[in-house]
Amino acid sequence: MSEFVIRKMTADDIPHVAAIEKELFTQPWSEQAFADELNNKSATILVAQAGGEIAGFADMREIMGECYINNIGVKALYRRKGIGRALMQALEDSATDEAEFITLEVRQSNEAAIRLYKSMGYIKVGTRRGFYEQPTEDADLMTKYLKRVVMK
């Protein structure tokens, strides 16, 4: 595998990211949705560039110390080459010092993604029943705590 670079998404990347989204998901975001997200000050959208093309992307929002990964996707050709892990790590690294945790949903049948998330310290904290459509499926809610949270 050739090397890859993780960088911030630009407007020029939107058609490529939307194409990956369409390849991977049954209810993909539109190009307009990615354009809107690119203009969202609370969002961080990263791409992985490999061999002159966009191989994957990841999108996270941080609001008041809470980070939420909206989406992550890697083209089939580039899977199992460390790109998903690198994108996740780059999102974590982009979180501010105020961030207490990062959370995400994942299809319960997506065993490869669940293994990756667990290996990076994410734990299952709940289930969202019927969260996904086409086909209908429950989601595992997974969270990684970035700071020790003290309950008073």
pLDDT digits (tens, 9 = 90+) for 79-116: 999 999 999 999 999 999 899 999 999 999 999 999 99
Active-site residue (options: 37, 62, 78, 117): 117
pLDDT value for 1? 45
Residue 105 known to be catalytic: yes
Confidence at residue 39, expressed as pLDDT on a 0 to 100 scale:
95
DSSP for 46-76? EEEEETTEEEEEEEEEEETTEEEEEEEEE-G
Can 117 be counted among the known catalytic residues?
A: yes
Which one of 37, 62, 105, 122 is the catalytic residue? 105
Q: For the chain, which ranges sit under pLDDT 70?
A: 1-2, 148-152
Q: Does domain 4-145 have CATH number 3.60.40.10?
A: no
What does the pLDDT read at residue 134?
84
In the prediction, which pLDDT does 147 show? 72
Half-sphere exposure of 35 (CA within 13 A, CB side): 6
Q: What is the pLDDT of residue 150?
A: 59
Are 56 and 47 a contacting pair, CB within 8 Å?
A: yes
Q: Any idea where the domains of the chain sit in the sequence?
A: 4-145
3-state secondary structure of 35: helix
Of the candidates 144, 151, 152, 150, the residue with the CA atom closest to the CA atom of residue 66: 144
